[in-house]
Chains A and B, each alone.
Chain A
Amino acid sequence: MQKGINRRDFLKWIGAGTAAASVPALGCATGGSTGLHRAAGREAGAHSTYFDGFGVDGGLIGKVIRKGLTRGGDFCDVFLQHKISHWVGMEDAAINRAYSNVDLGAGIRVLKGDATGFAYCEDLTEQAMLETAETAASVADAAAPGIRAAPLAARKIESRYTVELPWSEVGIDKKLPLIERANAKARGRDPRIIKVTIFLADQTSHILVANSEGLLVEDEQPMAVMYVTCVAAKDKQIETGYQSVSSRDGLRFFSPEVLDKLSNEAADYTTKLFDAVSAPVGELPVVLAPGVSGILLHEAMGHGMEADFNRKGVSIYADRIGKRVAPDEVTICDDGTCDRMRGSINIDDEGAPAQRTVLVEKGILRSYMHDRISAKHYSVASTGSGRRQSFRYPPVPRMRNTYMVSGPHDPAEIIASVDKGLYAEVFSNGQVHIGAGDFTFYLKHGRLIEKGKLTRVVKDANLIGSGPKVLEHVEMVGNDMLLFSGGGSCGKDGQRVPVGFGLPTVRVGAISIGGRAS
């Protein structure tokens, strides 16, 4: 209740200690599915869709859209989704638990000006969908339709994440050996590892977007993620750590190389903590290691550049387009087109094609991330950033994969430039206050920098600073940009969506470090 109604943004990995409850919700894993889950006659004709198998054809969708416009709405769209999720887990060396979930429903949205009427149903019968459209229509209050819906025309898209076999049809027997291998590797890595828990979760989401402008487009979105969590004991000291990998890919993604790297990192991240001391207290220069520290971009400026906050005038970046927000070395993109990354999409959840959006170019703020409503407000094209957790939510502007482009510096040169500071390596979660601009991100572990050299391991500290100030004080950008391939999710407006991020080695000015050692 507390969190549901609180609209603060936060970013948290499942498995990061506190979120065990969200794991089964991700879930899902039934074995080989049947004809039920298959598209019926997909290639047969212009209006033949995956959802024909559920009794929803182009004719019915058109009728629902027209119903949505009967009260004078300017625009109506229908979002159909069938999502099959599986989760299978190992604990104490036995793969002895599985969760699965099937989600089926329709979200119907009507826009009047920039006001939204939204309703959904979990029953795809004609009666249920028409009633739902009528509810959404009530955001407008005229007695008659204002506009006529255009006839639907199916648009084909090239998928950037086709799979040989959808996860919905991969039997659980194919998944068990992957988990066994990851477990053996993690346990074999270090004798101090005493517990290993692993889960493999997959999803197959079929979506269809149709709207009153005549768009009809479909996508099949695969997702795979594996988490390895370790507990290690040394004398009386206990430490825990984890690592994850994720991709919009099928079974082939979990190659021996991927699994071994995952398990080794999970084990190393745990045993490394035996040598760690508490992080320092107060402001120090910070060098961000490449990869997962891209969470800095996500929190420090990403959310502030989502156009809904700017349209409402409440973001710290409102009215900053065309202005300098960072030094020349800084170019930042939000990109839905990265190869099989977790935040990649073919189309957004309003049917707009994904793109690579340059947010900051050589230090100048160039673009926000737009959905349909904000694009109309700013008289620009949508950037393909309208995303939603599921058919149960209306779309809002969201990040996809957010990264900083490589700069000129050698990473070693960047570390050597710091006399006393923190080298921040692995992060677990973060949060931002959109208006005030202060952001946090939580360091699982890193190293101290003393006289230009990496020294002791430090752990468990929250880092806090002003997003715009940190961006203004990016001092050096490395030439080693790395995309983080783990399982990141972002929460906003009560909705979670998968995201990716990346960063080269970056030196920023002083950030306040919430450690305990003085």
Chain B
Amino acid sequence: MSDLLEMARKVAHKAKARGAQGVQASVYRSRDSELEWRDGKIDRLRESTRMGVGVTLYVDGRYSSNSTSDLRDSAIEHFLDDTVATTRVLAADPHRKLPDPARYASRFQGDLEVFDTASMSPSERRKLARSLEEAARANPDAGEIISVTSSCSNSTSESAMVCSNGMEGQRRRSTFALFAETSVKDEGDRKPEGWWYAVQRHKADLPPIATIGQEATRRALGMRGAKPEKSGQYACAIENAVAGRLLGDLIGPLHGQDIQQKRSFLADRLGQDIGSAALTIVDDPLLPRGLSSRTYDGEGMSTIKRPIFTRGKLETFFLDTYYASKLGKEPTTAGTSNLVFEAGERDLDGLLAAMGTGILITGFSGGNSNPATGDFSIGIRGYWIEKGRRARPLAEMNLAGNHLEFWKKLAEMGKDAYVYSSWRTPSMRFEPVQFSGT
């Protein structure tokens, strides 16, 4: 890994020699292996080694950011010639600068445990992918299955970063992932699919194979005969694994560019209640084994734990050095790392029991949100719930609302944090909201 740091230093030095007063140079290298398996045989093997260089330049008050995978010595020289020259042609921007060196200090020194030395051989990937299919087919309704696709993948990545005003960093990460997808017969030509996956930094943290394969098939079979319900206002619950899709439209407008460019419905709402008291979210970059754990962010600033919402109140924006300067505020960090939620007391079944009648959302489709107004509309699938139980599957429906009203209807969070995403969303239960169907 030290060779990457050495290369980053060299690139920074070369850029400075060409007249850049400030430089951030980063170098990465990664190795990825994936085996995809379909219906009893290998479908695709994929292997790759990547390496590249990124360089962010501050030249006479001007800014550009550039990357290349052409690492031949002569190509790097030309690349820096070109990029430094191009930067000089741009307009000067007083807000463009490297982070305050004070923000490089107090970096977390412990082990985030995001690198596992365990390996995975090609034959092991094959065995795991085959087991995923076997698990997916181990169902009393296996006769309804049209096709099962599974995959097993692992990767390692290393990177180094140098900022010319006094920051150096190196890190490495590993990833192990399992995926299964089942396609089943339904009425007419419909062939609903279900999929499930697990991803972890440590191989030993992967769940039993059978749970993933079985869940994929269970989800596909559950969607047979799905139909829309009548349009109306219904109570709803959102399953933990998919809740991040909707939350993303609430988090997006917290970013500096949206706020400074006045296209954020949250721009003037710092310190205000945006959600109900059940909405407590912390950004925790130092979570051991977290999928987005990091001791320094994309600008090299040391990371800290940061509350985003506390009992519904908006606590922070995501501001990088540039947009913080434009807004006349202190930078925080450019974006989320791991989001951790204050857990409730019940699992999903408990939430459904509390809801009684309504809609359980198990998947989203398409949709969008207007960042300036908070209006959103998004396709959903899931189940109609009666007496706390799944009565029939739903599809071809939309959920619509405004984020400023929607999160105030959050009745409770589940205790079932979803661990296969860096946003560890639990299942959530909401008071009645607008659904459109027939």
Interface residues of A (CB under 8 A from B): 1-2, 5-7, 10, 16-18, 20, 24, 28-34, 36, 82, 88, 91-92, 94-105, 114-123, 132, 135-136, 138-139, 171-173, 176, 194-195, 197, 229, 231, 233, 238-240, 278-279, 281-283, 299, 312-318, 320, 392, 394, 428-431, 433-442, 459-466, 468, 512-516
Q: How far in angstroms is the closest Cβ of chain B from A381?
A: 23
Nearest-CB residue, chain B, relative to A115: B42
Q: How far in angstroms is the closest Cβ of chain A from B40?
A: 11
| Residue of A20, A103, A122, A462 ringed by the most chain B CB atoms within 10 A | A462
Question: Does A314 lie within 8 Å of B191, measured CB to CB?
Answer: yes
Nearest-CB residue, chain A, relative to B376: A460
Give every chain A residue within 8 A of B252 (Cβ-Cβ): 17-18
- The residue from B41, B49, B186, B244 contacting A122, defined by CB atoms under 8 A apart: B49
Question: Does B48 lie within 8 Å of A120, measured CB to CB?
Answer: yes
> Quick check: is B66 within 8 A (CB to CB) of the other chain?
yes
Question: Does A121 lie within 8 Å of B49, measured CB to CB?
Answer: yes
Question: Does A512 lie within 8 Å of B397, measured CB to CB?
Answer: yes
Q: How far in angstroms is the closest Cβ of chain B from A11?
A: 8
Question: Does B401 lie within 8 Å of A441, measured CB to CB?
Answer: no
Give every chain B residue within 8 A of A516 (Cβ-Cβ): 375, 377, 400-402, 434
Question: Number of A-B pairs whose CB atoms are under 8 Å?
Answer: 312
Give every chain A residue within 8 A of B122 (Cβ-Cβ): 138
> Quick check: is B7 within 8 A (CB to CB) of the other chain?
no
- The residue from A6, A120, A122, A515 contacting B377, defined by CB atoms under 8 A apart: A515
A176–B401 Cα gap in the complex (Å)?
40
A283–B396 Cα gap in the complex (Å)?
11
Question: Does B67 lie within 8 Å of A101, measured CB to CB?
Answer: yes
A123–B49 Cα gap in the complex (Å)?
9
Q: How far in angstroms is the closest Cβ of chain B from A92?
A: 8
Q: How far in angstroms is the closest Cβ of chain A from B257?
A: 6
A137–B218 Cα gap in the complex (Å)?
36
- The residue from B179, B226, B436 contacting A513, defined by CB atoms under 8 A apart: B436
Give every chain A residue within 8 A of B90 (Cβ-Cβ): 88, 95-98, 172
A100-B66, A102-B70 known; A438 and B44 CB under 8 Å? no
Interface residues of B (CB under 8 A from A): 38, 41-52, 62-71, 74-75, 78-79, 81-83, 85-87, 89-93, 96, 122, 146-147, 149, 175, 177, 179, 181, 183, 186, 189-193, 195, 197, 199, 223, 226, 228, 231, 244, 248-249, 252, 255, 257, 261-263, 265, 291, 326, 365-373, 375-379, 381, 395-402, 421-423, 434, 436-438
A437–B231 Cα gap in the complex (Å)?
21
A30-B86, A105-B69, A239-B372 known; A512 and B366 CB under 8 Å? no
A135–B31 Cα gap in the complex (Å)?
13
Give every chain B residue within 8 A of A430 (Cβ-Cβ): 366
Give every chain B residue within 8 A of A91 (Cβ-Cβ): 261
Q: Other than the known A18-B369, A96-B93, what 4 A-B pairs have Cβ atoms closer than 8 Å?
A: A1-B291, A122-B51, A440-B366, A514-B399
Give every chain A residue within 8 A of B249 (Cβ-Cβ): 18
- The residue from B189, B291, B367 contacting A468, defined by CB atoms under 8 A apart: B189
Question: Does B190 lie within 8 Å of A435, measured CB to CB?
Answer: yes
Q: How far in angstroms is the closest Cβ of chain B from A207?
A: 15
- The residue from B69, B193, B396 contacting A465, defined by CB atoms under 8 A apart: B396
A463–B226 Cα gap in the complex (Å)?
17
Question: Does B179 lie within 8 Å of A5, measured CB to CB?
Answer: yes
A515–B436 Cα gap in the complex (Å)?
7
Question: Does B78 lie within 8 Å of A438, measured CB to CB?
Answer: no
A28–B64 Cα gap in the complex (Å)?
10
Give every chain A residue within 8 A of B67 (Cβ-Cβ): 100-102
Give every chain B residue within 8 A of A460 (Cβ-Cβ): 368, 370, 373, 375-377
A320–B189 Cα gap in the complex (Å)?
9
- The residue from B68, B373, B421 contacting A101, defined by CB atoms under 8 A apart: B68
A132–B231 Cα gap in the complex (Å)?
55
Question: Does A462 lie within 8 Å of B191, measured CB to CB?
Answer: no
A513–B191 Cα gap in the complex (Å)?
24
Question: Does A435 lie within 8 Å of B377, measured CB to CB?
Answer: no
A430–B367 Cα gap in the complex (Å)?
7
| Residue of A1, A99, A459 ringed by the most chain B CB atoms within 10 A | A1
Give every chain A residue within 8 A of B175 (Cβ-Cβ): 1
25 A–B pairs (Cβ distance < 8 Å), ordered by A: A1-B422, A18-B248, A24-B65, A29-B64, A30-B86, A96-B91, A100-B64, A104-B75, A115-B42, A122-B50, A229-B263, A278-B375, A279-B377, A282-B437, A313-B146, A435-B191, A435-B192, A435-B193, A436-B192, A437-B190, A461-B377, A462-B378, A512-B398, A513-B436, A515-B400
Nearest-CB residue, chain A, relative to B257: A20
Question: Does A194 lie within 8 Å of B262, measured CB to CB?
Answer: yes
A94-B91, A96-B63 known; A122 and B368 CB under 8 Å? no
- The residue from A31, A239, A281, A314 contacting B231, defined by CB atoms under 8 A apart: A281
